[in-house]
Structure 1
Amino acid sequence: MTTPDLKRRRVYTTIGNARSSLQLLATEALMTLPDLRLAALALAAALSLSPGATAFAQNTEAAFRTSTLNLSATGEVRAPPDIVTLALGATSEASSAQAATTQTTQRINAVVAALRRQGIAPRDIQTQYVNLTPRYSDNSNAPREIIPQRATTALMVTVRDIDRAGALMDIAIAAGANQVQGVRFGLSDPAAAKRQARDTALRALQDNAAQVADVMGHRVVRLVTVSAQAYSEIVMTANRVQEPSAPGSRFEPGEIVINANANGVFEIAPK
């Protein structure tokens, strides 16, 4: 008799003995009427061992018969960016909240008008936040007083011709923007690059499974489970300037890196 057959027989014998003992205990308890609680517990335990235990034994037997590989793989795609997002803003300080807000609004309106004259569509200009903050005196020996009020408005501007991004930032600064909070490169259609990276990771996963199984003298029988996820690394330059920069700003776009991870479980068998 083989080793799996002996293990299977031991499992079934143990279950059968436990079931018989519990059924006998239940019968004896029922003959003693005061011990109804013990009888109920014994019967429940005996019943629970019947179908569930058989399934457990079958699963245990299957575990001895099946070998699996749990592997992971990665994929990478590099693509030149075709859009750039400028994070611009305007901030003003004045003795009153109304004066500070008015000055900032005038600056932002002038920036938006200048960008639209350059062909930037309304859908590519978005207000990110508006902030009004009082500034207090820092004299610790005297009561704190509000010195000026500071009003800030921030814009996100999407530029679809990245070669014009530097010139457009210069135009925005000349029109009144006095904050540059970041420059971010991206892809207008990241889904296509993510699919390519995912497919690369899945093919690598399949190749890895075949190679590992072969080294171990096995073959891949089937794929049991698989998962894959792709994500892109955002290329961002974060610089904050309060004064207009020198004209002729230029940005180097580099490349966008899209990575993907794939995980899979493979059933294998001897060749």
Structure 2
Amino acid sequence: MARQRRLVAGIGVALLVLLAGCAGVSGTLADDTRSPETTETNDLERSIEVAAQGEASAEPDRATVLLAVESTADDAGTVRTDLAESDDALRSALYDWGLSEDDVRTEHYDIHQTRDTRPDADRSEYVGVHVYAVTVDDVDAVGEVIDVAVDAGADGVQQVRFGLSDERADELREEALGDAMDNAHAEADTLAANADLEVTGVYTVSTTNVRTSPYATAAFAAETGDAGGAPRTGIEVGDVDVTVSVRVVFGAQQA
């Protein structure tokens, strides 16, 4: 019996030695996992993300004039007839001046019944309005176009918007994007310098917003010139602005 106890004790000691050896191997493997190469790679995985804006401005090369023709009568049929006759006269005058059919389109057309607020409140009338959007490629000729329209029967000019042709808009957008990227690089360099880093390149770039701000005049009433030769219409022209926003992720490393 004593011999059996000694045998069991010997087996127990052998097992303890074996388990101790296995624990040492596990620790070594764990240490190998956190090797210097892995630590160095993690240290290099740095980035700088910035959001920047860019702008570009240019003189407009296209204008849109909103012209209104109005009519009021006791019945809708009369209003419709008045608007139709005015439409023929206005379009003919604008076409004779040099605009094409594609340059003159209907922006808004409406005929509705209203109730007079005067003492005889039971009396109602019909009011109609036809708003035209007239595109003019020669911005210097906008005032002349307005004079032609007013002489042909237009009752008012609701607005004049100065914008860009498609080709010029694309050029201005490219300029604004270039300005935005220059600003992004400058901001990334500043951030890197203050964080003891240096920029190594660009990871990703995205455009988040592109906005064009046309120049627009306020509405004003139209008045037909008299036979003595009234002063012709003059329109002030302002620049068109294009603004873009970009988001850029730069790679960085320890300086």
TM-score by length of 2: 0.75
- Residue of structure 1 aligned with 2:89, choices 98, 110, 121: 110
Aligned to 2:211: 231
CA offset at residue 101 of structure 1?
A: 1.1
Aligned to 1:217: 196
Q: Does 1:206 align with 2:190?
A: no
Aligned to 1:17: none
CA offset at residue 65 of structure 1?
A: 5.9
CA offset at residue 242 of structure 1?
A: 6.3
| Bigger Rg, which one | 2
Is the CA contact (8 Å cut-off) linking 1:195 and 1:230 kept in structure 2? no
Is the CA contact (8 Å cut-off) linking 1:134 and 1:146 kept in structure 2? no
- Residue of structure 1 aligned with 2:56, choices 58, 64, 77: 77
CA offset at residue 203 of structure 1?
A: 2.3
Change (3 A) 1:242 1:170: closer
Larger mean Cα displacement after TM superposition, 241-250 or 73-82: 241-250
Is the CA contact (8 Å cut-off) linking 1:68 and 1:265 kept in structure 2? yes
For residues 167-225 of structure 1, the C-alpha deviation after alignment (integer angstroms, 9 at most, x for no partner) is 11011011000021100001113111111111221122123212321332211133232
Q: Does 1:250 align with 2:227?
A: no
Aligned to 2:37: none
Structure 2 distance, partners of 1:247, 1:149, is 34
Change (3 A) 1:251 1:243: closer
Is the CA contact (8 Å cut-off) linking 1:126 and 1:157 kept in structure 2? yes
Aligned to 1:156: 133
**Identical-residue share of aligned pairs (%):** 26
Q: Secondary structure at the match of 1:206?
A: helix
Structure 2 distance, partners of 1:138, 1:63, is 79
Larger mean Cα displacement after TM superposition, 216-225 or 251-260: 216-225
Is the CA contact (8 Å cut-off) linking 1:84 and 1:183 kept in structure 2? yes
Q: Secondary structure at the match of 2:244?
A: strand
CA offset at residue 164 of structure 1?
A: 1.0
Structure 2 distance, partners of 1:238, 1:177, is 17
CA offset at residue 146 of structure 1?
A: 4.7
Q: Secondary structure at the match of 1:253?
A: coil
For residues 122-167 of structure 1, the C-alpha deviation after alignment (integer angstroms, 9 at most, x for no partner) is 1111111210011103268x8x635221111110001111111101
CA offset at residue 63 of structure 1?
A: 7.3
Structure 1 distance, partners of 2:146, 2:222, is 14
Is the CA contact (8 Å cut-off) linking 1:111 and 1:177 kept in structure 2? yes
Structure 2 distance, partners of 1:137, 1:207, is 64
Aligned to 1:261: 245
Structure 1 distance, partners of 2:75, 2:161, is 35
Larger mean Cα displacement after TM superposition, 213-222 or 238-247: 238-247
TM-score by length of 1: 0.71
Structure 1 segment 10-159 matched on structure 2, within 5 A = 66-138=45-117, 145-159=122-136
- Residue of structure 1 aligned with 2:154, choices 154, 174, 177: 177
> Larger RCO: Structure 1 or Structure 2 (Cα < 8 Å, ≥ 6 residues apart)?
2
CA offset at residue 94 of structure 1?
A: 0.8
Q: How many residues align?
A: 212
Tell me, which stretches of 5 or more residues in structure 1 are unaligned? 1-8, 13-60
